[in-house]
């Protein structure tokens, strides 16, 4: 798949088939995630894999209860509160696999590094025909000490990006994007940069 196709066609998928995600596919996703750049190459990520539908259903119920009790006021006033409290709502959209990217304690920017790994994972999944969706709703619950304890996650690890993975049950329409807000654009006046054709020829190699 062309890189631009992956970037433009990836969607947050919320309807999945029951088909399991092969272990080899999960391994490929982790390989893609770890290709992400990271500050001073710390690679401060760790992965939690949840691939049992019964367990995922139970986790969804518990995450919902926690979320409803602790929903920030601005969200509680939003329609999200109704969505979450609906009995049929599954936080993980009934996907067969959940991959949680945890940030390990690190000196420089571990959260940012994990987000970059997450995007790699989601684009790679899309290239394999798999759907993904980040699940921010589950993050507060996943970060509870007792939940980390249950799954053997070190307390000092932080759940940054829970991502469900599965086979899409159908196409997902795109959602609109805002135009880029350009707050600053400075360049050397008079260089005619807007007239430079793209794709442009690489600059000639300098002679020593
Ligand atoms: C940090 C983050 C948290 C998100 N949390 C949820 C979530 O809890 N549930 C959900 O269905 N989608 C969640 N999403 C998906 C977004 O709603 C989705 O990416 C956005 O609407 C744009 O749609 P697209 O990804 O299809 O382009 C989350 C996305 C991000 C980046």
Measured in Å, residue 91 CA sits from the centre of ligand 1 at 12
Residue with CA closest to ligand 1 atom 28: 134
Neighbours of 25 (CB within 10 A): 17
Under the banding of pLDDT at 50, 70 and 90, the label for residue 204 is low
- Say what the pTM is: 0.94
User: With the C-alpha atoms ordered 35, 159, 128, 51, is the resulting torsion angle positive or negative?
Assistant: positive
What tens digit of pLDDT does each residue of 78-94 get?
677 788 888 899 999 99
- Look at residue 207 in the predicted model and tell me its pLDDT: 57
**What residue ranges define each of the domains in the chain, with the CATH number in brackets?**
3-195 (3.40.109.10)
What tens digit of pLDDT does each residue of 159-200 get?
999 999 999 999 999 999 999 999 999 999 888 888 887 776
Q: Which atom of ligand 1 is nearest to the CA of 11?
A: 26
Average pLDDT of span 41-51:
98
Measured in Å, residue 192 CA sits from the centre of ligand 1 at 40
Q: Which residue has the higher pLDDT, 95 or 189?
A: 95
The pLDDT of residue 205 is above 70: no
Q: Which atom of ligand 1 is nearest to the CA of 172?
A: 26
- Look at residue 167 in the predicted model and tell me its pLDDT: 98
* Spatial CB neighbours of 47, under 8 Å, sequence gap ≥ 6: 30, 33, 99, 100, 101, 102
Measured in Å, residue 14 CA sits from the centre of ligand 1 at 10
């Amino acid at each position: 798949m062309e890189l631009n196709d992956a970037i433009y066609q990836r969607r947050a998928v919320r309807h999945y088939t029951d088909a399991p995600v092969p272990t080899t596919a999960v391994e490929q996703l982790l390989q893609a995630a770890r290709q992400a750049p990271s500050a001073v190459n710390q690679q401060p990520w760790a992965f939690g894999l949840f691939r049992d539908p019964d367990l995922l259903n139970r986790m969804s119920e518990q995450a919902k209860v926690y979320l409803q009790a602790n929903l920030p006021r601005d969200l509680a006033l939003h329609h999200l509160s109704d969505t979450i409290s609906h009995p049929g709502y599954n936080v993980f959209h009934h996907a067969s696999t959940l991959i949680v990217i945890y940030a390990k304690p690190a000196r420089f920017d571990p959260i940012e590094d994990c987000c970059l790994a997450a995007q790699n994972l989601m684009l790679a999944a899309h290239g394999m025909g798999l759907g993904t969706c980040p699940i921010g709703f589950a993050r507060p619950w996943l970060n509870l000490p007792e939940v980390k304890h249950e799954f053997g996650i070190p307390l000092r690890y932080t759940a940054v990006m829970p991502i469900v993975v599965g086979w899409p049950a159908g196409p997902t329409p795109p959602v609109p994007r805002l135009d880029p807000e350009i707050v600053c654009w400075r360049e050397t006046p008079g260089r005619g940069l807007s007239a430079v054709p793209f794709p442009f020829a690489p600059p000639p190699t300098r002679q020593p």
